[in-house]
């Protein structure tokens, strides 16, 4: 005989009034035991309220945005089983920021809950992701759903998963984002707009500019199209913060000039000193010499020191990589920098020349400016922007003295690096550049 049971929120530790961020089923759905009915997300963890038994969803008693605490009524389930336990549901913790162990939500049931996954702290979504009305949410693990939410991807828009029994995998979500980004490239958008609504951006404005005056169309170069799509993805997917600092390079500049006189066949610019200072800083702060792996859950620490250099060419920006900078001196680096810049401008760089970087440097110092926000060259975690040095009065405790000041702008991936660490990184860079003898230590 069919019995109707109430599904309630189980023991979820000390959490109260947790918002419902996802409805995983709708009335009439046949659900299996332990299948998630709704997702709740606090600022520390995401959890599902599963069906305690197999059955048919008679009604959902919550809507998106409602808040629930332990014992809150979630759904009515019709089941053939007469002795269905009402509140024996297990909550399934799916994510908890590493430093907050209490975020691993306690479970009551005897069945072992999946291990809570650690992840970088991410802000809870401001607005619950919109769910297409009446659309069926495909099967996906809580970790995949969390991943999709972080990227703003509506899972109902992915037709079929490639996992077992058509379950959606992380790769399905990544591929969906890639498709959305490349679709945007063809629509003259800035690289992240898309017709599929994955990132929920407004469509790119379609304006007939000729209504306002004479115009001419100029196709983007191939390099600009490729780098544009990459820049747009990196800007959209990486939480960028830019840390600005100044380095006093008065002494460094005197030495650079001397070195230039001794090596007249070479152009020795401040950039080679910056490369060496970056190597020293990467050594001291290994989180910067790293990349997030494909899952976004592990940091791959690198033991080599390859630095990418953004080179401005008539066709657009390219980033060749100078390898093993820790093993090269200033003169070697100057020679190699000259060679790769020439190769870049002659369009002779191959993919191998542009891969394997640890950190990139974008120097606009030869042109001007006092600071800018460089875009991180994924999967690197930081990029150093360098502006034009200028003579400035600096208070030395007794008087203002003229000092040559170099502005530094470090953009970093805030999922990997915290602000304090970034401030230490740039302060250390400034210290190295301020006293280049330290680079020898």
Residues belonging to the active site: 414
Q: Minimum Å distance from CB 316 to ligand CAO? A: 9
- Between 161 and 385, CB nearer to ligand CAO: 385
Beta-bridge partners for 405: 248, 390
- Between 89 and 232, CB nearer to ligand CAO: 232
Q: Minimum Å distance from CB 437 to ligand CAO? A: 21
300-307 long-range contacts, CB within 8 A, separation 24+: 302/358, 304/358, 305/279, 305/358, 306/356, 306/357, 306/358, 307/275, 307/278, 307/279, 307/357, 307/358, 307/359, 307/360, 307/361
Query: How does 297-309 read in b/e, with b if 16+ C-beta sit within 10 Å?
Result: eebeebeebbbbb
Q: At what angle do helices 170-185 and 142-151 cross, to 10 degrees?
A: 20
- Between 145 and 335, CB nearer to ligand CAO: 335
- Give the Cα separation of 124 and 45 in Å (integer): 9
Contact status, residue 385 vs residue 411, Cβ threshold 8 Å:
yes
Q: What is the number of the residue whose Cβ is closest to ligand CAO?
A: 365
Q: Minimum Å distance from CB 331 to ligand CAO? A: 14
Contact status, residue 1 vs residue 79, Cβ threshold 8 Å:
no
- Between 176 and 412, CB nearer to ligand CAO: 412
Q: Minimum Å distance from CB 243 to ligand CAO? A: 17
* Positions that interact with ligand CAO (CB under 6 A): 269-271, 309-312, 317, 337, 341, 362-366, 374, 386, 388-389, 406
- Between 92 and 311, CB nearer to ligand CAO: 311
Q: Minimum Å distance from CB 209 to ligand CAO? A: 24
Q: Minimum Å distance from CB 32 to ligand CAO? A: 51
- List of residues 6+ apart from 320 with CB closer than 8 A: 308, 309, 311, 340, 343, 344, 349, 353, 354
DSSP 346-406: TT---GGGG---SEEEEE-TTT--S---PPP-TTSSEEEEE---EEEEEE-SSSEEEEEEE
- Between 41 and 246, CB nearer to ligand CAO: 246
Q: Strand pairing of 321-322 and 390-395?
A: unpaired
């Amino acid at each position: 005989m069919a019995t109707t049971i109430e599904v309630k929120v189980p023991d979820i530790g000390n959490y109260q009034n947790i918002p419902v961020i996802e409805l995983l089923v709708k009335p009439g759905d046949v659900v299996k035991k332990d299948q998630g009915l709704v997702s709740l997300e606090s600022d520390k963890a995401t959890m599902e309220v599963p069906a305690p038994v197999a059955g048919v969803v008679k009604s959902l008693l919550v809507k998106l945005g409602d808040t629930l605490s332990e014992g809150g009524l979630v759904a009515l389930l019709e089941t053939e089983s007469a002795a269905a336990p009402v509140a024996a549901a297990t909550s399934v913790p799916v994510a908890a920021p590493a430093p907050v162990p209490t975020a691993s939500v306690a479970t009551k049931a005897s069945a072992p809950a999946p291990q809570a996954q650690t992840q970088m702290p991410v802000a809870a979504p401001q607005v619950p992701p919109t769910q297409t009305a009446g659309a069926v949410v495909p099967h996906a693990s809580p970790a995949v759903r969390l991943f999709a939410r972080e990227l703003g991807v509506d899972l109902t828009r992915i037709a079929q998963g490639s996992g077992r029994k058509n379950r959606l995998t992380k790769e399905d979500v990544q591929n969906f984002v890639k498709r959305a980004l490349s679709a945007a490239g063809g629509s003259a958008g800035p690289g992240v707009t898309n017709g599929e609504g994955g990132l929920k951006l407004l469509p790119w404005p379609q304006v007939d500019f000729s209504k306002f005056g004479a115009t001419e169309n100029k196709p983007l170069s191939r390099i600009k199209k490729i780098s544009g799509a990459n820049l747009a993805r990196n800007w959209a997917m990486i939480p960028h913060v830019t840390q600005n600092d100044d380095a006093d390079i008065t002494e460094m500049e005197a030495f650079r000039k001397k070195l230039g006189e001794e090596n007249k066949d070479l152009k020795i610019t401040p950039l080679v000193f910056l490369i060496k200072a970056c190597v020293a800083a990467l050594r001291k702060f290994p989180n910067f010499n790293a990349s997030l792996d494909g899952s976004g859950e592990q940091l791959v620490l690198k033991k080599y020191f390859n630095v990418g250099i953004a080179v401005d060419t008539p066709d657009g920006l390219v980033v060749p990589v100078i390898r093993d900078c820790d093993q090269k001196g200033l003169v070697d680096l100057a020679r190699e920098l000259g060679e790769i810049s020439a190769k870049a401008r002659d369009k002779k760089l191959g993919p191998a020349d542009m891969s394997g970087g640890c950190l990139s440097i974008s120097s606009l110092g030869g042109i001007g400016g006092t600071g800018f926000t460089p875009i991180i060259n994924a999967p690197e975690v930081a990029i150093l922007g360098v502006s034009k040095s200028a003579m400035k009065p600096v208070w030395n405790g007794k008087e203002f003295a003229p000092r040559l000041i170099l502005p530094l702008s470090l953009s970093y991936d805030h999922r990997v690096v915290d602000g304090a660490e970034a401030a230490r990184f740039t302060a250390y860079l400034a210290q190295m550049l301020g006293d280049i003898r330290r680079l020898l230590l």
